[in-house]
């Protein structure tokens, strides 16, 4: 990796200085004022109104948030939705069995009747947004504590949301930006009848696995398809056989003419989280305390899951989605550690803060800004060890089924046992349903090993901050080997199977629940995680106010140059160009901005979990059977690079040309630019995308599902 990064840096030094990535994740409502002229110079042919309009259909009407975490786009007049394979992974795994393994073998519905409804899946359409900063900030003052400020803000938010939801028709969300210096509201409409249409086999959809994740060159068919259904009037409706495919206000035409380096590319999507105003102390805390614990905890969970996943297909399906999500962020956080360390990001932030400190302590600024930096640094110094502790504990919660069960299912049983008989009768069905969902795909031997391993890691590595009392007591009595205790606790607990929960509902006992060893352990873990000393509470209050003032002061003084708000899962537009990285001998492509199917076949390893390929694909590539999706150079392009500014949550986002036509599907970033969530690097920043022609080839030529492609609008 060091040699690769060195070659990248040398190559980047040779790139003309006028070639740069375009930083920024921009609000659509400000595109005309802030970005439109720049975008036109780069190749945009649309008006700002064609991108974002309240009164007429526009590009924003074709972009949806997918199940609360990813992005997707509507690509047909009948509500066909395209997103990443890894975004649909959990749903595909849920719908799979060892007898009919849709995840492993792929699936394409032959007709609408074969499209499958998962237990829970929704898409969210963006309706409009507006600025409510003045209204909300008029309700607060500098004398308030952070808790008082939050209460006042939340009260006004509740009023704004009620005023704009039209009696429950819309979901309204008011979000803070620039660390609480600005506020905007967003109006959405949710559709919950979303059905699985198809996806390639896992060998294509996840080709390269964890080895290639966050790496370039890539050769992945990272896509899946769904369809949105509505009632006869086009309104959101619960699942019904009477529902019909949604007729969207706008859907994306698909350009199969190919692309070249320097072509304009814009991405619309729901980026999850950036922290580009983060102080130097926060970066240091992440690099030295939080992320190493995250990485180690994630790896511990993955190792335990993998032991069981390798045993058979049934167990693989039980943990496939959780493993994939854990592995993704495990590699991401290690990449963040490496990038932030290598490029001395904290040092550059500290240099900015030094300038701010000098400005803040001028006579006219000192009363307001003078203590900002000291308060921020005090907070990080006080919470470094707690952050390490919390990240070990968070990975226990994320990778095990029982870490937080005392506050989920356990709390429901506690409410049940204390209720009168009539109320219990009302509560029982919901608790039974909750237990059914929880235990449907759960393997107790694996959960025992997961919990024991994570408890040992947490207890032995979180020594800088006191661990949960029950965990310390059990560990001290057992040389910090939790295997025996966990096995006994889970064997005795009422919280480990649907049958035991039902038996408890039939014969409830408050004493039984209060003495349940798993219930006690889980509550102790969660309570300890949430507990804060008075000193930390005070430091948090000072930090919240100071961080907000830091951002305000950086903007006022012009020391901070960021013009766009941090990402926070609200719809944004980012623009740039198709852009290569320096030549790389690992990529057979003539120019290092795309990869080909030839390169993918060269990676092929028969029987390998990450690099196996279907024989049919190898044969079709050998025969050059690419159909109408072949590139002008005679090869099948698979993935390509742009220099757009994206982050997690942009997975599944459409890559559009200057006419607003779909040319690709964003799915990843490059590991060399992993510091991008904190500081944008115009030289290294790249977005990795699936070429839309490869998507269509997999559907039409490889899978024989031409009827799916036929409902799209293709242009050259």
Question: Does the pLDDT value for residue 7 go beyond 50?
Answer: no
Average predicted confidence (pLDDT) for the chain: 94
Assign 3-class secondary structure to 366-429: HHHHCCHHHHHHHHHHHHHHHHHHHHHHHHHHHHCCCCCHHHCHHHHHHHHHHCCHHHHHHHHH
Asked if 49 and 58 count as a contact pair (C-beta separation under 8 A), the reply is yes
Task: Exactly one of 22, 78, 193, 222 is catalytic; name it.
Answer: 222
- C-alpha span between 146 and 540 (Å, rounded): 9
pTM metric for this prediction: 0.92
- State the number of CA atoms in the 13 A half-sphere of 533 facing the CB: 9
Split at pLDDT 50, 70, 90, the class of 379 is very high
| The pLDDT value given to residue 465 | 96
Asked if 304 and 287 count as a contact pair (C-beta separation under 8 A), the reply is no
- Read off the pLDDT of residues 578-603 as tens digits, 9 standing for 90 and up: 999 999 999 999 999 999 999 999 99
- C-alpha span between 398 and 375 (Å, rounded): 32
Quick one: which H or E segment has residue 204? helix 202-205
- Read off the pLDDT of residues 162-204 as tens digits, 9 standing for 90 and up: 999 999 999 999 999 999 999 999 999 999 999 999 999 999 9
Question: Does the pLDDT value for residue 276 go beyond 60?
Answer: yes
For residues 63-74, give the mean pLDDT. 97
* Separation in Å, CA 571 to CA 28, 72, 268, 650: 8, 12, 7, 10
| The pLDDT value given to residue 2 | 38
- Read off the pLDDT of residues 352-369 as tens digits, 9 standing for 90 and up: 999 999 999 999 999 999
For residues 288-317, give the mean pLDDT. 96
Question: Does the pLDDT value for residue 20 go beyond 70?
Answer: no
| The pLDDT value given to residue 472 | 97
Quote the distance between the C-alpha of residue 261 and its chain's center.
28
Asked if 142 and 203 count as a contact pair (C-beta separation under 8 A), the reply is no
- State the number of CA atoms in the 13 A half-sphere of 609 facing the CB: 9
The answer to whether 310 is a known catalytic residue is no
Here the tokens at position 77 are 């007049």
For residues 10-19, give the mean pLDDT. 36
- Read off the pLDDT of residues 232-265 as tens digits, 9 standing for 90 and up: 999 999 999 999 999 999 999 999 999 999 999 9
Q: DSSP E strands: which ranges in 450-608?
A: 572-577, 594-596
| The pLDDT value given to residue 21 | 59
| The pLDDT value given to residue 22 | 80
- C-alpha span between 140 and 568 (Å, rounded): 23
Split at pLDDT 50, 70, 90, the class of 674 is confident
Share of the chain above pLDDT 90, in %: 93
Q: What angle do CA 551, 387, 559 make, to 5 degrees?
A: 15
The answer to whether 76 is a known catalytic residue is no
Assign 3-class secondary structure to 420-488: CHHHHHHHHHHHHHHHHHHHCCCCHHHHHHHHHHHHHHHHHHCCCCCCCHHHHHHHHHCCCCCHHHHHH
Closest Cα to residue 23, out of 568, 658, 576, 571? 576
Asked if 108 and 705 count as a contact pair (C-beta separation under 8 A), the reply is yes
Phi-psi region of 214 (alpha: psi -120 to 50; beta: other; left: phi over 0): left
Task: Give the start-to-end residue ranges of the domains of the chain.
Answer: 2-122+192-270+565-715, 124-191, 277-399, 400-530
Task: Exactly one of 203, 651, 653, 703 is catalytic; name it.
Answer: 651
Question: Does the pLDDT value for residue 320 go beyond 50?
Answer: yes
- C-alpha span between 72 and 651 (Å, rounded): 8
> Is the C-alpha dihedral spanning 522, 525, 530, 531 positive or negative?
positive
For residues 508-515, give the mean pLDDT. 96
- C-alpha span between 5 and 26 (Å, rounded): 29
The answer to whether 389 is a known catalytic residue is no
For residues 651-659, give the mean pLDDT. 98
Asked if 115 and 196 count as a contact pair (C-beta separation under 8 A), the reply is yes
* Separation in Å, CA 543 to CA 164, 273, 367: 33, 20, 16
For residues 93-101, give the mean pLDDT. 94
- C-alpha span between 186 and 565 (Å, rounded): 15
Quick one: which H or E segment has residue 196? strand 193-199
Task: Exactly one of 86, 219, 389, 637 is catalytic; name it.
Answer: 86
For residues 80-97, give the mean pLDDT. 96
Question: Does the pLDDT value for residue 1 go beyond 90?
Answer: no
Residues in the chain: 716
> Is the C-alpha dihedral spanning 576, 582, 584, 588 positive or negative?
positive
Which CATH code is given to the segment(s) 2-122+192-270+565-715? 2.40.10.120
Closest Cα to residue 260, out of 617, 577, 558? 577
């Amino acid at each position: 990796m060091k040699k690769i990064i060195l070659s990248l840096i040398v190559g980047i030094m040779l790139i003309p200085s006028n070639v740069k990535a375009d930083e920024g994740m921009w609000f659509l409502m400000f595109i005309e004022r802030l970005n439109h002229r720049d975008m036109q110079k780069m190749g945009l042919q649309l008006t700002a109104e064609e991108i974002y309009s309240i009164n007429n259909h526009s590009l924003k009407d074709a972009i949806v948030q997918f199940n609360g975490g990813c992005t997707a786009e509507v690509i047909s007049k009948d509500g066909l939705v395209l997103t990443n394979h890894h975004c649909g992974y959990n749903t595909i795994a849920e719908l799979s069995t060892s007898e009919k393994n849709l995840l492993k073998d792929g699936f394409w519905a032959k007709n609408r009747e074969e499209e499958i409804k998962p237990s829970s899946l929704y898409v969210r359409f963006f309706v409009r947004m507006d600025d409510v900063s003045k209204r909300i900030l008029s309700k607060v003052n500098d004398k308030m504590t952070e808790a008082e400020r939050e209460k006042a803000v939340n009260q006004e938010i509740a009023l704004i949301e009620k005023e704009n939801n039209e009696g429950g028709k819309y979901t309204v969300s008011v979000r803070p930006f620039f660390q609480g210096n600005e506020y905007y509201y967003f109006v959405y409409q949710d559709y919950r009848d979303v059905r699985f249409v198809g996806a390639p086999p896992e060998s294509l959809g996840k080709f390269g696995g964890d080895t290639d994740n966050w790496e370039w060159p890539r050769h992945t068919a990272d896509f899946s398809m769904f369809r949105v259904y509505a009632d006869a009037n086009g309104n959101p409706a619960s699942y019904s056989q009477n529902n019909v495919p949604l007729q969207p206000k706008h859907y994306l035409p698909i350009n199969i003419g190919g692309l070249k380096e320097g072509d304009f590319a814009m991405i619309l999507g729901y980026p999850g989280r950036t922290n580009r105003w983060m102080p130097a102390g926060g970066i240091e805390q992440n690099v030295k305390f939080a992320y190493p614990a995250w990485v180690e905890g994630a790896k511990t969970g993955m190792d335990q899951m993998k032991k069981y996943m390798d045993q058979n297909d049934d167990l693989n399906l039980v943990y496939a989605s959780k493993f994939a999500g854990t592995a993704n962020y495990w590699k991401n956080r290690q990449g963040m550690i490496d990038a932030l360390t290598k490029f001395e990001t904290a040092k550059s932030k500290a240099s900015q803060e030094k300038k701010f400190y000098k400005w803040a302590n001028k006579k006219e600024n000192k009363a307001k800004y003078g203590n900002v930096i000291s308060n921020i640094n005090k907070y990080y110094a006080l919470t470094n060890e707690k952050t390490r502790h919390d990240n070990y504990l968070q990975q226990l919660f994320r990778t095990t089924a029982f870490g937080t069960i005392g506050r989920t299912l356990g709390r429901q049983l506690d409410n049940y046992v204390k209720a009168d008989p009539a109320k219990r009768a009302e509560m029982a069905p919901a608790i039974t349903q909750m237990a059914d969902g929880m235990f449907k795909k759960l393997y107790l031997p694996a959960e025992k090993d997961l919990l024991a391993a994570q408890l040992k890691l947490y207890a032995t590595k979180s020594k800088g901050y006191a661990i949960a009392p029950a965990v310390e007591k059990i560990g001290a009595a057992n040389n910090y080997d939790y295997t025996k205790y966990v096995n006994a606790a889970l064997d005795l607990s009422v919280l480990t199977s649907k049958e035991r929960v039902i038996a408890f509902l039939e014969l409830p006992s408050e004493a039984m629940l209060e003495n349940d060893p798993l219930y006690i352990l889980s509550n102790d873990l969660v309570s300890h995680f949430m507990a804060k000393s008075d000193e930390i509470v005070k430091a948090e209050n000072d930090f919240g106010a100071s961080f907000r003032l830091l951002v305000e002061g950086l903007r006022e003084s012009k020391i901070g140059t960021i013009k766009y708000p941090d990402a926070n899962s609200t719809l944004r537009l980012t623009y740039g160009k198709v852009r290569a990285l320096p030549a790389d001998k690992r990529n057979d492509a003539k120019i290092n901005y795309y990869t080909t199917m030839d390169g993918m076949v060269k990676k092929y390893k028969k029987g390998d979990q990450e690099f196996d390929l279907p024989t049919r694909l190898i044969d079709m590539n050998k025969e050059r059977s690419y159909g109408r999706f072949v590139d002008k150079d005679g090869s099948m392009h698979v993935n390509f690079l742009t220099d757009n500014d994206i982050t997690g949550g942009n997975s599944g986002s459409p890559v559009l040309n200057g006419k607003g036509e779909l040319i690709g599907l964003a799915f990843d970033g490059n590991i060399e630019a992993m510091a991008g969530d904190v500081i944008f690097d115009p030289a290294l920043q790249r977005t990795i995308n699936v070429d839309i022609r490869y998507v269509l080839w997999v559907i039409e030529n490889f899978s024989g599902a031409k009827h799916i492609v036929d409902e799209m609008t293709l242009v050259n």
